[in-house]
Amino acid sequence: MLTIIIAFILLAYKTFVDRIIKEKDAQNLAEIQHQKDLALENVKAQEEERKRIAVAVHDDLGNRLNILSLWLQKVEIEDGNAANIINGQIKELVDSTRKISHSLYPVNLEKLGFILYLEELIVNLSKSIEINLFQTKNYQKKDIFVEVQFYRIIQEFTTNVIKHSEASEVTIIIRDSGNVLFAVISDNGRGFDYEKVKKGMGIKNIESRLQSMNAAFKWKSILGKGSRLIIKIPVENE
C-alpha cells in the first residue's frame, strides 16, 4: 500500500513538474515571438520615416537644385570662371543630395527592380572593392519590405568589409526558390571573432533586419581567411 502511495506521489510530482516546464516553455516562446514582433515593428517604423525623408530630399531638394542649375546655364554671367564654379558647386550639391537620399532609403528600388538596383550599388562601390554577383535562378520580385531589408543587409555587409576587413573582393550568391530566398555573402578579408564583434552596430543592424523578416542565418568567419553570411528568408512573391 505504501509503495502505491509513493508511486502516486511521484507521478503527481512529475506531472506537476512537466506542467510547470511546459508553461515556462510556452512563456519563453511567447516572449521570443513578442520580441520578434517588436523588432519587426521597429524596423518598419524606421523604414517609413527614412522613406519619408529620402523622398523629400530626392524629389524636392534634388529637383530644385536641378532647376537652379538649368536656370544658371541660361543666365549670362560675365565672369566665366564664376559660372563654372557655381555650376560645379551645384553639381556637387545634387550628387550629395542623391547620396543622402539613397543612404536613407533606396528610393528607386521599386522603379528599377531589386537586381538592377543592386547592380547599381555594385558599380558605385567598384572603386573601393570588387563585388561579384551570381544568381543561380531567375529572381522574382518580392514584397518591397523584404527587398529593402535584403538590400540593406548586402549594403551593410559590404560597407563593413570595406571599412574593417582589408578584403579585395566580395561575393554575393542569390538563389530564389519561389517562397524561400537563399543568399550567401562572403569576403576574402581578415575575418573576425564573432563573439567579440556581435554587439557592434554593423552586426546588430544586419541581424535586426534578418530577424524582422523571420530569416534563418549563420555567420562563418575564419581569422585570416574572410567571413561569410548564410541567409534563408521565407518570402512570398508579389
What is the tens place of the pLDDT at every residue in 68-109?
A: 676 666 655 555 566 676 677 677 777 766 666 666 677 788
Q: pLDDT band at residue 62, thresholds of 50, 70 and 90? A: low
Q: pLDDT band at residue 231, thresholds of 50, 70 and 90? A: very high
Both 56 and 143 in one domain: the answer is no
- pLDDT for 163-175, tens place per residue? 888 999 999 999 9
Both 117 and 223 in one domain: the answer is yes
Q: What is the CATH number of the domain that holds 173?
A: 3.30.565.10
C-alpha cell at 1: 500500500
Both 191 and 81 in one domain: the answer is no
- CB of 110 closer than 8 Å to CB of 199: no
pLDDT higher at 47 or 160: 160
Could you list the residue range(s) of the whole structural domain that residue 47 is in? 2-104
pLDDT higher at 47 or 133: 133
What pLDDT score was predicted for residue 190? Answer: 92
CA distance 233 to 215: 4
| Bridge partners for 131 per DSSP | 170
